[in-house]
Amino acid sequence: MSFWEKQRVLVTGGSGFLGSHLMRLLQAQNCGALIAPRSSEYDLVKGGEAERLIADTRPTLLFHLAAICGGIGVNRAHPSRFFYGNAMMGIQLIEEARKAGVEKAVIVGTICAYPKFTPVPFKEEDLWSGYPEETNAPYGLAKKMLLVQAQACRQEFGSNFIYLLPVNLYGPGDNFNLETSHVIPALIRKMEDARLSGAKDVVLWGTGGASREFLFVEDCARGMLRAAEKYHGAEPINLGAGFEITIRELAEKIKKLTGFTGDIIWDETRPDGQPRRMLDVSRAEREFGFCASTTLDEGLLKTIASYRSEHAK
C-alpha cells in the first residue's frame, strides 16, 4: 500500500481557500479515508469540540488549516477575535490529537508570525528575533504558539507534528470580499470592477512601497502533501516562491492583466503593513524537494479568470 492508502486523513478548514485545493489533491491520492467536516459540525473554538472531532474521525494524519484570517483592515478591526479564535482552535485540536495518538499532524502557520523587521529573505531561525508587525500581530502570535505546542508535544511525547509557514497565497477560489480579502484578490476586484464601470481611477491603501512574496495556492497544497509524506522534523519550514515584488509593481501588473486603463491613486493615510516580505525557501527544497512551479503572471491570469467566472454568475 502507498503512504496515502494507509491514512485516515482529517482536514480542518477543508472547505476554505487553501483547504479546497488541498482536498482536490488528496482525493487523487486514494486515501484510506478523507474527512473534512465544516465548522457548523464542529466549532473548534468551543471547549470539547476538538475532542469530539478526533474521537468521531479517528485520523492517522491531521492537516490543521482552519483559521480566522483576512487582510489588514479586518485584522485591525477584530484583533481579539483573531487571537482568541486561532489560538483556541489550534491549541485544543493539537492537544486532542496528541492525546489520541494521531500519528502525524501538519500544522499550517502564517508568515505574519515573523518579526516586523526580519532581514530579507526570512529564514526560519529568525522567527523569534522580534515582535510581529502590529496590524496583524494577534493573528501571527496565536498561530506561532501552535509551533511551540507542536515542538513541546514532540519533546515530551514524541509526537510527529510538523509546522509549515506559507507566504501570502493567491489563486482561483480566493476571497474577493473587499472587507476581508488579502491584497491580490482585492486588487483584482478593484481593477476589474473599475474596468467594467468605466471608472477613471482606483484608490489603493498605503504608499505601494511595501514588498510581498506570493505563492500560488495549488503550489502550496502540493508542498503540503510532500511535507506530510517526507518531512518529520521539529523545525518550522517556509513554503514560498522565492521572489519579492512591491505592492506598487503588483498593482501595475494587475492593472495591465485586467485591462484597466485608469489611474491608480495611493491613499498614504492608510497603513502599508510589514515593510518587506520574502522567504528563504531553501529548507523546503532541501528537506522534501519542494519548489514553486507557477510564475506570478500565470497565477494572476488564472486568478483573474476565476474572478471573472464567478462575477458573471
Half-sphere exposure of 9 (CA within 13 A, CB side): 27
What would the grid cell of residue 255 be?
492593472
Query: Any catalytic annotation for residue 139?
Result: yes
Cell of 150: 507542536
- Could you say which of 42, 84, 131, 139 is catalytic? 139
Q: Comparing C-alpha atoms, which of 33, 32, 34, 37 is closest to residue 15?
A: 37
Neighbours of 292 (CB within 10 A): 25
Q: How many residues in the chain?
A: 313
Closest CA to 218 of 2, 9, 28: 28
Structural contact between residues 185 and 175, judged by C-beta atoms closer than 8 angstroms: yes
Q: What would the grid cell of residue 232 be?
A: 518529520
- Residue 213 region, left (φ>0) first, then alpha (ψ -120 to 50), else beta? beta
User: What single-letter DSSP state applies at residue 286?
Assistant: H
Give the cell for residue 251: 498593482
Active site residues: 139
